A and B are shown apart, each in its own frame.
Chain A
Amino acid sequence: MEINALATLSKAIAIGLGSIAPAIAIGMIGSKAMEAIGRNPEASGKVFVPMLLASAFAEAIAIYALVIAFSIK
């Protein structure tokens, strides 16, 4: 295979594989937060900030993959 084609492929693989785990993580965080709000609707304000923080941490991993994908030449 050509080196350019390999680079393009590796970019796609880096971001594609790297975003599987964060996607699952954000989905779980969201579903658990919805569950918590459903059980106790008054706590929605208190759930919101930790939920955003946790999803930011999960999302950071996808961002690392994105940066790697950008930096592959």
Chain B
Amino acid sequence: MATENNTVGLNTLTENSLNTESSSIVPENKNQEISHESTLYAEPIFHIGNFTITNALFTSEIVVLILIIFFVTLRFKIKKIPKGIQNFFEIIIEGAESLCDQVTNSRKITNKAFPIVLTVFFIVLLNNWMGILPLGGFGLVEMGESGKMFIPLIRSGTADINGTLPLAILSVIGANLFGIISIGLWKTTNKYVNLKALGGIFTKIRKDPMVLMTAPIMFAVGLIEFVGEFAKIASLSFRLFGNVFAGEVLLASMGAIFAYALPTPFLLLEVFVGMIQAFIFAILTLVYYTIASLDHDEDEGHHEENKLQEAH
């Protein structure tokens, strides 16, 4: 998982487009037929000044709006004796908290990380599901390179690498900030640039000459972990983007083979995949938060165990 390769891959990604014809229209008359392609990048739909609004950005803003309106109105309707929808969300939150406890093993970390993890879960979930809502028919018709092009207004925000990459960066940087808050700046720095091990050469060399061998290795391991942080970002963002985008392409090509009947079971599959991917994204964010808040050198016996967890 070399990070350099990933950034190079990104540049080529945005330049290419995937040629899956979702409609079986043969482009004989290029001026009249409207074609639609599933592109790897999100298509721009309008501009505000110099700022281009793509359909993925548009959809994710809609999602944010829906979430804010829904939860703020829910907040002002909270009563001591729960009723209806409040009951439903209390069940969800209780279940989610006990699930988080299984990962973090402590209610203290769960309570601290829970708000951001649940928010990420709802944003990703709604974004995934927006893509499979039957709203794909609304869109613009624009003149493309090869005749008229149909551009849908709704494209799930997670089916765009620009939507998932910020989420992944947010969760990894957030995890490191959480580490700094919970175990301190010095210990968090030592995970990546292990000054403590290098300093140990001078303080421990009288007692234990072997430290001359182990300290440079510890330092190198820290550097590898620094690279590992970028691998976390890459794997988080590409997993979500790949799953959701592949789902859209799958639905489009199934619709091209046999419309209406064949895509239906796959639509149900996509509902499931959207939920699982949102769940995995949120749980991995929680795992990163938990790892960041654990002190490595608390006891050396657990060192290997932590390494195993962080192998990814």
Binding site for B on A (CB under 8 A): 45-46, 49, 52-53, 56-57, 59-60, 63-64, 66-68, 70-71, 73
A63 to B238 CA separation, bound complex (whole angstroms): 7
A29 to B177 CA separation, bound complex (whole angstroms): 33
Question: Does the CB pair B9–A73 fall under 8 Å?
Answer: no
Min CB–CB distance B270 → chain A (angstroms): 15
Question: Does the CB pair B283–A49 fall under 8 Å?
Answer: yes
Question: Does the CB pair B13–A60 fall under 8 Å?
Answer: no
A19 to B238 CA separation, bound complex (whole angstroms): 15
Kindly supply a per-residue 1/0 record for chain B positions 278-305, scoring 1 wherever the CB is within 8 Å of any chain A CB and 0 otherwise.
0110011001000000000000000000
Interface of chain B, main secondary structure: helix
Chain B contact-residue range equals 20 to 34
Query: Which one, A57, A64, A68, contacts B312 given CB within 8 A?
Result: A57
A-B contact pairs, 18 of them (CB 8 A): A45-B102, A49-B103, A52-B276, A52-B279, A53-B280, A56-B284, A60-B238, A63-B238, A63-B239, A63-B246, A67-B238, A68-B9, A70-B40, A71-B9, A71-B16, A71-B40, A73-B12, A73-B16
In the complex, chain B residues whose CB is within 8 Å of the CB of A49: 99, 102-103, 283
Binding site for A on B (CB under 8 A): 9, 12-13, 16, 18, 40, 99, 102-103, 235, 238-239, 241-243, 245-246, 276, 279-280, 283-284, 287, 312
Question: Does the CB pair A56–B242 fall under 8 Å?
Answer: no
A21 to B74 CA separation, bound complex (whole angstroms): 46
Question: Does the CB pair B102–A46 fall under 8 Å?
Answer: yes
